[in-house]
Amino acid sequence: ARPIEDKLICGAIALALIGLLLYAVFIIGRFLFLRGGWRSRSGAWLLAGTLLVVAGKVLDRLPATLSVDYGIELGSLVKLYAAAFEEGMEMIHPMILGWSVWISQFEQRYLS
């Protein structure tokens, strides 16, 4: 394929993925805030899973940011534990989000 064709294909895929991401944000936001889903069990698990995504990203970037921007060097053991904990959170949060979807079948549904 030619370079322009590659860019068009990759651009179309990127636009489709961005569209799916925006749709997911819309569905989650509508459920949590407009329908009061944050008060339900499935909403609490959905919030917990979402917060774990954010916490994992912060934990992943923290050692490098502290080192480069502020000159604070963390010990190698702290970096090792932070990396292991962050990887563990990345592994568990799909299960938490799936649990939220499972619970929502019996309570207030947000995927339908």
> For the whole model, what pTM was predicted?
0.69
Q: pLDDT tens digit string along 55-93? A: 888 988 999 899 999 999 989 998 899 889 888 888 998
Q: Where are the domains of the chain?
A: 3-104
Q: pLDDT tens digit string along 28-46? A: 899 989 988 889 898 999 8
Over the range 51-88, which residues count as b (16 or more CB within 10 Å of their CB) and which as e? ebeeebeebbebbeeeeeeeeeeeeeeeeeeeeeebee
Q: Which two tokens stand for residue 104?
A: 């929502």
